[in-house]
Amino acid sequence: MVGFDQVTKAYGDVRAVDGLTLALHPGQTVALLGPNGAGKSTTLDLLLGLRRPDAGTVRVFGTEPREAIVAGRVGAMLQSGGLMDEITVAEIVRLACALHPKAHPVAEVLARAGLTKIADRRVDKLSGGQAQRVRFALATAGDSDLIVLDEPTTGMDVTARQAFWATMREQADQGRTVLFATHYLEEADAIADRVIVLHRGRLLADGTAAEIKARAGARRISFELDGGPDGTVDEAALRALPHLTSLTVSPSGSAAGPGTTVRIQSSDADATAHALYRLGLYPRNLEVAGLGLEQAFVALTAAEEAKQP
Ligand SMILES: Nc1ncnc2c1ncn2[C@@H]1O[C@H](COP(=O)(O)OP(=O)(O)OP(=O)(O)O)[C@@H](O)[C@H]1O
């Protein structure tokens, strides 16, 4: 339903999107991740026909992006802008509904975005989180097959964020595709069926959150050690453990006396744990866990950054 084929877009000598090839399929919830400047917003702008590629093609439902938007097949919520001054919440939502070929009833759109109580308020007098909800209402004013959201929950409080994602889940359950760019990796982990990681305009990773975590390779090991009388342990010996990619050592205490909590990241947790026992140490409360999506993301992008000049 969305196809990017070898798409490049540069601003001067900055290649914001660099040879991107990508296909999105119906009914998916897709998170677009990447560090600042990775090209997420530019990718969404290209998808929405707000910018034209320098090279390559973007097709949305088999047509030019603008045609798909005019046909009402795409609803979008962009990072900023788009809200007019001196107009109320109800008026701007009514306008969006009037323009959408397959509009939902205005009252329903307001209710879904949690705007009913502030429908008479002026849009330029809203808080940041309320303005985000208006943008969300505009993106869901009609029955679009694809909903595109650029950092949708920025500025929303925890309750608004949870309500927002519950609504997005409903949209996806009804067969719509939801594509969202975010810096909240826990949201991507919890919500997305598919995670796409961009780095310097290129595709760095594309898969389920579990696949991305597995690709980052590393695992976390944590345990406690009984230290000497002052709670210290031989940090140099720990640092020399095989496959170690990071180490933090912090004091911990219990009724049994002073101790040390050790947290390790390892690219081969089994080998690291064996070596730990071979050192003659007796780790207590040993836990081995996979990386969270956030740590996997940091590991992947840092490794990529290290490769490039
Ligand atoms: N209109 C523009 N003119 C010049 N350079 C731009 C323009 N828009 C974006 N860029 C540059 O293109 C690159 C990609 O920007 P883009 O906004 O797409 O990234 P992003 O992943 O959305 O970043 P962020 O997470 O900070 O929102 C950046 O280096 C940015 O400085």
In a domain, 308, yes or no: no
- Nearest-CA residue for ligand 1 atom 30 is 37
Q: 162 lies in a domain?
A: yes
Strand ranges of the sheet holding 2-11, from the earlier edge strand across to the other edge: 14-24, 2-11, 55-60
Please check whether residues 104 and 163 belong to one and the same domain: yes
Q: Which residues contact 228 (CB under 8 A, 6 or more apart)?
A: none
Of ligand 1's listed atoms, the one at least distance from the Cα of 43 is 18
pLDDT score at 80: 65
Tell me, yes or no, whether 209 and 248 share the same domain. Answer: no
Q: What is the pLDDT of residue 232?
A: 65
Distance 30 CA to ligand 1 centre (A): 20
Question: What is the pLDDT, as a whole number, of residue 91?
Answer: 96
Measured between alpha carbons, how far is 100 from 93 in angstroms, rounded to an integer?
11
Domain boundary among 160, 182, 214: 214
Q: Among residues 18, 21, 25, 19, which one has the least CA distance to residue 2?
A: 25
In a domain, 115, yes or no: yes
Domain check: are 190 and 164 in the same one?
A: yes
Backbone angles phi, psi at 234, to 5 degrees: -80, 95
Which residues of the chain are modeled with pLDDT < 70?
Answer: 80-82, 227-232, 253-257, 309
Structural contact between residues 259 and 225, judged by C-beta atoms closer than 8 angstroms: yes
Are 278 and 201 part of one and the same domain?
Answer: no
In a domain, 307, yes or no: no
pTM: 0.80
Would you say residue 302 lies in a domain? no
How far apart are the CA of 37 and the centre of ligand 1, in A? 5
Residue 123: predicted pLDDT? 92
One domain for residues 191 and 277: no
The atom of ligand 1 lying closest to the CA of 44 is 18
- Ligand 1 centre to CA of 137 (Å) is 26
Q: For the complex shown, is ipTM > 0.85?
A: yes
Q: Which residue, among 149, 132, 134, has the nearest Cα to 191 in the 3D structure?
A: 149
Q: pLDDT at position 26, please?
A: 87
On whether the CB atoms of residues 15 and 201 are closer than 8 A, the answer is yes
Residues 19 and 155 in one domain: yes
- Note whether residue 297 is domain-resident: no
Pocket (CB within 6 angstroms of ligand 1): 11, 14, 16, 34, 36-42
Answer yes or no: do 72 and 163 share one domain.
yes
Return the pLDDT at 1. 86
Q: Are 87 and 36 contacting, i.e. CB atoms less than 8 angstroms apart?
A: no
Determine the pLDDT at residue 82.
66
CATH of the domain at 281: 3.30.70.100
Number of domains observed in the structure of the chain: 2
DSSP 117: G
What is the maximal distance between C-alpha atoms in the chain? Answer: 75
d(CA 175, CA 139): 16
Domain that holds residue 112: 2-214
Per-residue pLDDT, 254: 66
Q: What's the CATH number where 155 sits?
A: 3.40.50.300
